[in-house]
Each structure stands twice: as structure tokens, then as C-alpha cells.
Amino acid sequence: MALGKIKADTLEHSTAGSLDTKFVVKGSAKHWSHTNSAGTSVEDSFNNASLTDTGTGQQTHNLTSSMSNAVHSPQCSVGQNYNQQWISNIATGSYRTNNHDGSSYQDSEQHPVTHGDLA
Amino acid sequence: MSEIKTDKLTGTSTAGSILVTGEGNSTTTNLQQGLIKSWYCLQGTDTFGLKDSFNTASATDNGEGDYTTVRTNAFSNDDYATAALCSSTGGSSAHYNFTVENQDNRLRSTTSLRTYILNSQSGEGANDALDSSVSFMGDLA
């Protein structure tokens, strides 16, 4: 069966309202993953080419399809009770998540997500 | 402007996979994979409860800063990703709260997630926050 293609500016549901399709394109997450507690492997993901174990508590997430610029909007939650998490090294094809307990970097499950424009 | 009126979108080759052309007009992204599958905003102080939500069946107050939420439609596994934000503690010496999974009483399943609101300025003890919101990305069952 040939692939179908629909071009539309609006989607409308019978009861739940309508949505400009720009919210589908721009509002969808362009990458997410769930890493293991050692920061060495990916349990599940989307648009994730690979994981680099940059160092203890530091994970670099490499995207399959790159973003159009380096000002996309990564976020990250972690699976342990450590009190400092932040994002760094944002590039079109990757970003780094960092987990720290106030004294040193700590490995943990990390759950990064980013939104923004694909290249 | 063109407009599609429908209650359901389904892929032709694979029912659960629809491609969307990205902002750069060439790369495609997967519609189902990029959608947030569940989200909520709950109130932790005063009267506990969900303020607004999507695909969230319930929220339970287990104690100070200790909440369990349950999805209506389950994920296919417990490896979903989450993004979270919560309010700081008010007052003249605002404390800085952050949301993590509860590792003391861990509950991460295809439907349920137990979270802690921890306070970085009080020995990392749990405390209620006015607002606590979490969004979930992953594979629905």
C-alpha cells in the first residue's frame, strides 16, 4: 500500500475542539529517553542515536535527527534523591544532563526530553 | 486554510505510527512518539488534589511532599521519560524545591509513579509544594 499524505492547517475533533497543526509540529517532543542508573545504556527512547557516558553523573544524549539550532529546550528528571540537576553543552545534535548531590556528581537514571525545531 | 475534521488519526502502514514533517521542511518526526501521553498539575498544600490533568486517573497524598499518581491508559513499559516542576516554598526565606522519584518507597510502573518534593535548604527533607506538575513521554500500551 502506498503511503498516504495529508496536508492540513487544522485538526478538529467532534467534541474536544480543534487544533492548529503547528501545535502538533512545534509542540511535539523531538527527543526523549530513559537511561539506566549507571548512565551506560538506554532503556527506551525516541530520536536517540546513542548515549555517551561523559562521566559520573554526566550523560550526553546524541540525537538521530538534529535540531535546527542549539537553542532548543531540554529538560531532565532523575531517579534518585539528589538535589542538583542541570542541562549543559546544548548543540543541534546533542545535549548533556548533569546530576550532582552538592558535593560530587552522582550517577542516576535520567529522563531527558527536548522540544524545539527539527533541522 | 485547510481543515481536517476527525476524531481519530491512524497510520495506514502501521496504525500507531504517523510521520509529521518537521520545522525544517525535510526531516520527519513521529507523531505518536513526540506526544505527551499524560500530564498533571496538582496542589500539594492546603486541600490536596489534581488541578488539571490528562490521562491521569488519580492522585494520592502519601504524606509530606510524597505523592502517587496513576495513569488511566497504561504505558507499555515503565521506561517512560518525565519532566517535572514544582513551586518553591513561600515566605521570607524561600526554599528551593525539586521533584524526584521517591526512592525510599519506589513505585514506578506502567500506570503509577510516586514522587517526592524535596527541599534543598532543609537537609533534603520532603515538603508539600503549592503546585507540582509532571509530564510523561513514552510508549502507550
Interface check B27 vs A, CB under 8 A: yes
Per-residue confidence of chain B (141 residues) as pLDDT tens digits?
789 999 999 998 999 999 999 999 999 999 999 999 999 999 999 999 999 999 999 999 999 999 999 999 999 999 999 999 888 776 555 567 888 888 889 999 999 999 999 887 756 578 898 899 999 999 999
Question: Exposed, middle or buried by CB within 10 Å (0-12, 13-18, 19+), for B46?
Answer: exposed
What is residue A3's predicted lDDT score, i.e. its pLDDT?
73
Residues in chain A with CB shorter than 8 Å from the CB of B137 are 29, 32, 46, 113
What is the spatial order of strands in the sheet that B49-54 belongs to?
B49-54, B38-43, B131-137, B81-86
Instruction: Write the ipTM.
Output: 0.83
**Position A1 pLDDT exceeds 70:** no
Tens of pLDDT, residue by residue over B75-115, are 999 999 999 988 877 655 556 788 888 888 999 999 999 99
Residues 102-141 of B with CB under 8 A from A: 103-104, 108, 116, 118, 120, 124, 134-135, 137-139
For residue B76, the SS3 value is: coil
Q: What is the pLDDT of residue B122?
A: 58
Rounded to 10 degrees, the C-alpha dihedral A114/A115/A118/B4 comes to: 140
Q: Which residue has the higher pLDDT, B50 or A5?
A: B50
B99: cell is 521533584
Helix (H) or strand (E) holding B31: helix B31-34
Contact B120 A84 (CB under 8 A): yes
Residues A37-83 pLDDT 10s: 999 999 999 999 999 999 999 999 999 999 999 999 999 988 776 77
Q: How far is CA B30 from CA A50, A53, A76, B131, B140, in A?
A: 18, 26, 21, 31, 14
| Predicted pLDDT of residue B64 | 92
Residue A75 touches partner B, C-beta closer than 8 Å: yes
Q: Do you know the residue count of chain B?
A: 141
| Selection from B119, B109, B105 nearest residue B62 by Cα | B105
What predicted TM-score, i.e. pTM, was given to this entire model? 0.88
Domain residue ranges of chain A, discontinuous segments joined by +:
27-115
What's the pLDDT score for residue A5? Answer: 85
Please name every residue paired with B115 in a beta bridge, in sequence order, or none if there are none. Answer: B67, B101
Alpha helices in chain A (DSSP H): 21-27
Q: What is the pLDDT of residue B120?
A: 73
Residues A61, A48 contacting (CB under 8 angstroms): yes
Facing residue for A118 by CB, picked from B27, B82, B99: B27
Q: Average pLDDT for residues A20-44, to the nearest whole number?
A: 94
